Structure 1
C-alpha cells in the first residue's frame, strides 16, 4: 500500500459526532473546524469497505484530466486560470481556504462551496491537499484550439473546474450547485426533490398521462428554445407539443406556486433543451418516468456523457425539422407504449440509483482525488485567501439559503469508503461509445425520413 493509499484509507471504525452550526453565536472562535471532529466511541464499521464499483460515468473523470496526465499540474498552470475563475479553492490539512475573484450569478458559488464543505464532513480525513480554480458560469471557456498545435512548446491549458463542457473545450466538470438547493427559484435540495419526484411519478401511471411532449421554461435565452416555441399547438397544426413560457418575475411574486417540479410529471414525454448552455433541469426531467425527448445537446455535464439514445432518452433534431422530429417521437411512443415506458423507466432508474447524493459525493471525491494526484507542488494557503467555515455560508443570508444549507448539512460521516473507480476508457472503448450513439441517432433519423416506426 502506497503513501497516498494510507492517507486516503477508510476513516477509523468509530462514530464521529459533528458540532452543530450555530448562527445565533456567530463568531470565528466558535466555528467548526473540519479537521477536528469529536470522536465518541469505537464501533464496528457498519458497511465495511465499500466493494461497489462506481457508475460508468465516473470514468469520464480520467478524460477530463487527460490534458495533464503526462505533464502534471504546476502551480503556474493553476494560476493561469485566474482570469476565468470566480474563486480559488485550497484545501490544506482538511481545512478549506477560498480567494474570491468575481461575484457568481445568484448563489452558485456559495452552494458549490457548501457542497465541498459537506464532502469533507462525509469523508473526514480523506480529502487530499489541493489547489484549484473554479468558474460558476454557464459556458466553458478553456478552448482546445488555444492549447494545441504542432509546436513542442505549446502552452499547457490551465485546469479550471466548472459545471459543463463540450467537445471544443477542456474544462474539468463538477456537480452543479443545485444539488444542495436553488433558493432563487425555490428548487429544493436534490435528496428532498428526488423523493417528491418519485411520489409525483406514482400519482399518474405513464399510460394515463397526457399523450404529448411538455416543456416549460424561458424560451428567450437561445435560438433552440425560440425554435421550440414554433412547435406549440396552433390553429393550423398540432405537433403534439405543449410549450409553456416561464415568467420568472411573475413566479417570484406568486411564490413559485406554478413551478413545482413534482407536479409536472403528468405528460408521457418531457423535452430537454439547452438554454445559454447546458441546463441543470436535465436531472429533474430524467427523473420523471416520462420519455425524455432530448434536443441535440451541444454541452454535457458530469453524468450525461453516459446516457444512451433509445435507452435513457429519445434524440430530437436541433434544426428546422425540430417540430417534425418531436411529433415523430410522440407518435412512435404512442404506437409503442411498452417500449416508450421502458425508456422513461430506465432514465428514472439511472437517476435514482446512480445520481443520488451518495454517488454525487463519491464523484466529487474521485474528481478531487484524481486531480490532486497530478499536482507537482505542495498546496499552500494563498496570502489573500480566507479560511471558510460553515457559518460563513449558512448564517449571513437566512431565508431559504440557510434552510437549504441546514437541510443538506452532513451530520455524520460515511461509514464506508467511496466506490471503486474504474480505470480510464481505452481508445477502442471511447470509439465504441461514440459510434454506438451516432448509429442509434442515425437509425432514428432514417425512421423519421421514411416516416417508418421501425
Structure 2
C-alpha cells in the first residue's frame, strides 16, 4: 500500500519542565562513534559497509526509505525497520536526515585494526572489544514472532507481575537456565553442570526445543512464569543473546557467564551490584560457589537481584529505548560529510504498509507495538562522554570486582572441606565501594 501523508510532520509542543537525564549507558553512544569523531563519515565509508549489510536505511525529511540487499534470518530486519518507523512516529520532525548500513547477523565484523582510511560505519545488535560496529537496540523490543516473544513494553509489565508470584525466599534455591544449547559450545558445556548421580552443582539447566514448543503452543516458554528460582544463569549464544533482559527482570540473582559481547545497554551493568560473575572455563564449580554464597548471604543476594530488575524495569523501558535510538542516530548524522539522498532502488516505508503486508503473530506484534501518536514527553538529555580517566576507572572497577569474586571462589574451593568457613569470606567490600 501507499504511505499516508497526514501524519504530523513535527511535534507541536512538548510539555514544559526540566528534561530527565538519560541512563548511564547512553554515554557509550559517544564511545561507539569515537572512531569517526575527527574524520567524519564519508559516503565512501558508508558504501564500504554495504559489503555485509542486509539493508540501507535512508531518512530524508522525516520519511524512511529502505534499499534491501539480503534477507535477514527470520524477521530480524522486519522488526528492526518497524522499530525505526515507530521512532519516527514518536518523534516526528526530530530524526535528522541520514543514511546508514545495517547488518542483522549476530557477529560484529568491523575490526579495529582493519587498515581502512576510515572504518566503515556499520550498525548491528552487538559489538565486542575488537570491533567498531555501532550497536543498536535489537528487533525483540518490537517482538519475535518465530518464538512467540511479545513486544517488550507489554512483556515488561508481565514480568513485573510474574515477579510477585513467588517471593525470593520461597523460590527454589538453585540456578536455573533454559535455552537452546545447540547454538554454542559454551552452552553445551553448561549442560554438564546439570544435577547427576555424581554431582549437584546447584544448577538446574534445561534444553529448549523451539520446534516442539511451537507445535505445543509455547506453553513451556512463558517468560513471566520463569521467576521461580533464586538464581538465573545468563550465557551467550553464538554471540550476545536477547535473553539477557528477560533473565535479569526476575528479582533473581543473575549469574552471568563471562560475556564476550555487549549490546547497547549491558556496558553499564556492574558486577556484584547488578549480577554475579561466573567463570567461563570452570562453570560448574563457579555456579556452585555462587549459589552457596547466595544461600549464605540471602539479604545481599536479594539486593543484587533487585538492583538488576530495577535497572531493567526503570532504565530499559521503551521510552529510553526510543531515546537511545534518537540520540544515536542524531549523533551519527552529525558526523556525515555528505547529504543523504534516496537511492533509485529504495522503497518508502511506513507503518501502515508494513502492518498490512504482515499476517499472524507478525501483524499482532506490530499492532501491539505501534506508536499511537507523537510523544508528549521530550527525549531525555544525553549525558556527556566519558573522559579517558573516568572510563578507565569504570573498567578497572568492574575488572577488580570480578577478580575479587574469583578470589573468594578459589578460597571457597581450597576450604571446601570446611564449609563453615564460607560465612567468613567477607563478601561485603565491593558493596561499600571500598
Give me the TM-score of the superposition, normalised by structure 2. 0.93
Deviations for 1:109-157, whole angstroms, at most 9, x for unmatched residues?
A: 010000000001110111100000001111111111213xxxxxx5211
Whole-angstrom distance in 1 between the partners of 2:91 and 2:10: 14
Whole-angstrom distance in 2 between the partners of 1:108 and 1:39: 29
Q: Secondary structure at the match of 1:372?
A: helix
Match in the other structure for 1:93: 61
Match in the other structure for 1:250: 212
Residue segments in structure 1 that go unaligned for 5+ positions in a row: 1-26, 148-153
Q: How many residues align?
A: 415
Give me the TM-score of the superposition, normalised by structure 1. 0.89
Match in the other structure for 1:402: 363
Per the TM alignment, residue 392 of structure 1 is displaced from its structure 2 partner at its CA by 3.1
Per the TM alignment, residue 438 of structure 1 is displaced from its structure 2 partner at its CA by 0.7
- Asked whether the equivalents of residues 10 and 92 of structure 2 are also in contact (C-alpha less than 8 Å), the reply is no
Whole-angstrom distance in 2 between the partners of 1:66 and 1:226: 37
Whole-angstrom distance in 1 between the partners of 2:67 and 2:46: 13
- Asked whether the equivalents of residues 50 and 419 of structure 1 are also in contact (C-alpha less than 8 Å), the reply is no
Going from structure 1 to structure 2, the CA distance change for 1:175 and 1:243 (only over 3 Å counts) comes to same
Match in the other structure for 1:113: 81
Deviations for 1:314-361, whole angstroms, at most 9, x for unmatched residues?
A: 000000x11000000000000000000000000000011100000000
Going from structure 1 to structure 2, the CA distance change for 1:397 and 1:80 (only over 3 Å counts) comes to same
Q: Secondary structure at the match of 1:138?
A: coil
Whole-angstrom distance in 2 between the partners of 1:255 and 1:406: 21
Whole-angstrom distance in 1 between the partners of 2:9 and 2:323: 23
Match in the other structure for 1:340: 301
Matches of residues 213-362 of structure 1 in structure 2 within 5 Å? Answer: 213-319=175-281, 321-362=282-323
248-257 vs 360-369, greater mean Cα deviation: 248-257
Identify which of 139, 144, 148 aligns with 2:112. Answer: 144
Q: Secondary structure at the match of 2:65?
A: strand
Matches of residues 149-160 of structure 1 in structure 2 within 5 Å? Answer: 154-160=116-122
Structure 1 runs of 4+ off > 3 angstroms? none
Identify which of 144, 151, 161 aligns with 1:189. Answer: 151
- Asked whether the equivalents of residues 9 and 92 of structure 2 are also in contact (C-alpha less than 8 Å), the reply is no
- Asked whether the equivalents of residues 248 and 309 of structure 2 are also in contact (C-alpha less than 8 Å), the reply is yes
Q: Secondary structure at the match of 2:292?
A: helix
Whole-angstrom distance in 2 between the partners of 1:375 and 1:441: 39
Per the TM alignment, residue 38 of structure 1 is displaced from its structure 2 partner at its CA by 8.3
Matches of residues 40-55 of structure 1 in structure 2 within 5 Å? Answer: 45=14, 47-55=15-23
Per the TM alignment, residue 50 of structure 1 is displaced from its structure 2 partner at its CA by 4.7
Residue segments in structure 2 that go unaligned for 5+ positions in a row: 413-421, 427-434
Q: Secondary structure at the match of 2:32?
A: helix
Q: Secondary structure at the match of 2:341?
A: coil
CA RMSD of aligned residues (A): 1.4
